[in-house]
């Protein structure tokens, strides 16, 4: 399985997310994460989907099928481009006076921050690429994770594309 990141701009109409998720289930595609929010244009939302596929032909089909939706303006598989991709996670970790310092020392190199503190627990906020977040979760696991919420990847291409990262030609 390979992971591909597909970026879509869609008209912000009622039911548009339903149309897209419906399409994924109808065509038997596997979504790893999906994140939606307004874009720079009024009435237009950006959706970032991370999908797991067996081969690139399937991604091509996904892109084409998404493009057929009337409310979808543009679909790009941005995996092969130079991209900025970020995900946010909130992690609630129980704390004891003895472990608190250890946890603080883990947070710092990851540039995570503590956004809530109570007697028994703290809430850590971390942003970054999926791999970074996963690494952090692994590290923090031994202290126990009470609750975890992740946003899923959101991404778009960098302003400057390196020459070596040639875009694939497509006729459609």
Partner 1 sequence: MDSLPLVVFTGQVATSVIGTDAFQEADILGITTPITKHNYQIRNVKDIPRIIKEAFYIATTGRPGPVLIDFPKDIANAIIELGNVEEVEVNLPGYQPTTQPNYLQIRKLSEAVSSAKKPVILAGAGILHAKAMEELKQYAEQQKIPVVHTLLGLGGFPADHDLFVGLGGMHGIYAANMALYECDFLLNIGARFDDRLTGNLNHFAPNATVAHIDIDPAEIGKNIPTKIPVVADAKEALKQLIKQDGKQPVHQEWHETINNWKKDYPYFYDQDAKDVLKPQKVFEMLFEKTKGEAIVVTDVGQHQMWAAQYYQFKQADKWVTSGGLGTMGFGLPASIGAQLAAPDSCVLAILGDGGFQMNPQELAVIREHNLPVKIVIINNMALGMVRQWQELFYDKRYSHSQAQIQPDFVKLADAFGIKGYCIHSSEEAESILDEVLHNNEPVLLDFRVEPGENVYPMIPAGKGLHEMEGVKP
The contact set with partner 1 (CB under 8 A) reads 10-11, 14-15, 18-19, 22-23, 26, 57, 60-61, 64-65, 67-74, 171-172
Residue with smaller CB distance to partner 1, 60 or 134: 60
Minimum Å gap between C-beta 11 and partner 1 is 6
Question: Which residue, 162 or 169, has its beta carbon nearer to partner 1?
Answer: 169
Nearer to partner 1, 22 or 166 (CB): 22
Tokens matching residue 165: 């990262």
65-71 contacts: CB < 8 A, separation 24 or more?
A: 65/23, 65/27, 66/6, 66/8, 66/20, 66/23, 69/10, 69/16, 69/19, 69/20, 69/23, 71/10, 71/11, 71/13, 71/16, 71/19
> Which residue, among 62, 73, 76, 71, has the nearest Cα to 16 in the 3D structure?
71
Of 37 and 43, the one with the shorter C-beta distance to partner 1 is: 43
H helices present in the chain, as ranges: 16-26, 56-68, 97-107, 130-140
What is the smallest separation between the CB atom of 42 and partner 1, expressed in angstroms?
13
Smallest gap from residue 51 Cβ to partner 1 (A) = 16
- Is 160 within 8 Å of 11 (Cβ atoms)? no
CB of 54 to partner 1, least distance (A): 15
In the bound state with partner 1, the residue whose beta carbon lies nearer, of 75 and 140, is 75
Q: How far is the CB of 153 from partner 1 (least distance, A)?
A: 23
């Amino acid at each position: 399985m390979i992971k591909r990141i597909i970026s879509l701009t869609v008209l912000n109409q009622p039911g548009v997310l339903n149309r897209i998720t419906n399409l994924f289930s109808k065509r038997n595609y596997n979504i790893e994460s999906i994140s939606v929010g307004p874009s720079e244009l009024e009435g237009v939302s950006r959706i970032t989907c991370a999908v797991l596929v067996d081969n690139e032909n399937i991604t091509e089909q996904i892109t084409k099928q998404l493009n057929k939706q009337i409310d979808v303006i543009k679909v790009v598989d941005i995996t092969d481009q130079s991209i900025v991709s970020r995900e946010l996670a909130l992690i609630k970790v129980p704390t004891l006076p003895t472990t608190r310092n250890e946890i603080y020392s883990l947070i710092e190199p990851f540039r995570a921050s503590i956004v809530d503190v109570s007697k028994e627990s703290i809430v850590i906020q971390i942003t970054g690429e999926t791999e970074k977040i996963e690494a952090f979760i692994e590290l923090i696991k031994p202290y126990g994770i009470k609750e975890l919420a992740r946003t899923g990847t959101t991404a778009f291409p960098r302003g400057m594309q390196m020459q070596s990262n040639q875009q694939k030609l497509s006729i459609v």
